[in-house]
Amino acid sequence: MSRVLVTGGCGFIGSHIVDTLLKNQYQVAVFDNLSTGSIQNINKDKAEFFFGDILSKDLETAVALFKPEYIIHEAAQTSVNRSINNIHFDAELNIMGTINIINICIKYSIKKVIFASSAAVYGNSKQIPVPVNSAILPNSPYGLSKYTAEEYLKLAKDLYGIDYTILRYSNVYGPRQNALGEGGVISIFLNNLISNLRQKIYGDGNQTRDFIFVKDVSYANLKALEVDECGVFNISTSTSTSINQLFNIINGLSSHIFPPIYEPARDGDIRESQLCNKESMKCLNWKPLYSLEEGLELTYRYLCEQNNSLKVF
């Protein structure tokens, strides 16, 4: 079976991709510097692990040893806020990191790169749901760095013949999510619920998000390995939920109901986010399988188990 290197494979999304690939008989290696990921997230008996930074020579060492045919590139700086406060760090990791991946692909004749991009590339789009060919108007350095990396990958196809699939994820949630990363609102709300803490809502709470369960995202990555064509796809549910609605659904899971604390809106936050997934369903032969309620139930159960508190959902 094919050999796949997953950068950032110890992280939230990357580790689920690793699980899905292993289940489908791929040979998998993970390259990660464990800055936000955890070694506990992967099955070390089945996936090879290389410790290192995508900005360092360790990346080449791992590729030379493992000899992957494909690279799934998840390692990144993922926080919108951090990108605003440290543009340089964001650009270095997300742009130079991807350029390093491209250089490795040229040198080691990698067949294809699958790249984790983001809804953040669209910024505040006027079209809802946002089609994949919508205007690119990022309103954060993170959105811009993700888009710049996409453009380098497209150029690498033209100049060096390296295939790519770019997957623009909407807000991903599920087990193993670190409450600090992009799209962490569900993880934060569920953790607060379990700890009986009041929820904070930034802005008026009417901002919307397109929440997609992490297993649907990992499955999209599997599908992207299977199709030959290069392309850019939204990986989303094509539905939207406001933060106030989410608050009410999540509060319904518990008998302790505290009103939320409303804080000022944060810079770089998108007002409405709902990505059209028509093209992905057609070209990748993929569709999201989990409803928000199902995904929340699975995530809540996971967190309860982690907290050793056997709560009935």
| Chain positions contacting ligand NAD, by CB under 6 A | 7-8, 10-14, 32-37, 53-55, 74-76, 78, 93, 116, 118, 169, 171-172, 178, 181-183
Q: How far is the CB of 56 from ligand NAD (least distance, A)?
A: 8
Kindly state the smallest distance separating residue 39's Cβ from ligand NAD, in Å: 9
Amino acid type, 290: Y
d(CA 221, CA 211): 17
Q: Which is nearer to ligand NAD, 92 or 254 (CB)?
A: 92
- How far separated are the first and last CA of the chain, in Å rounded? 40
Residue placing its CB nearer to ligand NAD in the complex, 133 or 178: 178
Residue type, 89: F
- Minimum CB distance to ligand NAD smaller for 75 or for 304: 75
Least distance from C-beta 258 to ligand NAD, angstroms? 26
Q: Is 187 helix (H, G, I), strand (E, B) or coil?
A: helix
Burial 209-233 (b: 16+ CB within 10 A, else e): bbbbbbbbbbbbbbbbbebeeebbb
Q: Which helix (H) or strand (E) holds 144?
A: helix 141-160
How far apart are CB 221 and ligand NAD at their closest, in Å? 10
Please, what is the minimum distance in Å from the beta carbon of residue 303 to ligand NAD? 16
DSSP 52: -
Q: Report how far residue 78's alpha carbon sits from residue 145's, in angstroms, rounded to the nearest whole number.
A: 10
Instruction: Give me the catalytic one of 26, 70, 122, 142.
Output: 142
Task: For residue 309, count other CB atoms closer than 10 A to its CB.
Answer: 10
Query: What residues contact residue 40 under an 8 Å CB cut-off, 6+ apart?
Result: none
173 classed as catalytic:
no
Cα 186 to Cα 290: distance, rounded to the nearest angstrom:
15
CB closer to ligand NAD out of 26 and 31? 31
Residues 6+ apart with CB under 8 A from 179: 187, 188, 191
Nearer Cβ to ligand NAD (140/171): 171
Write out the catalytic residue numbers.
142
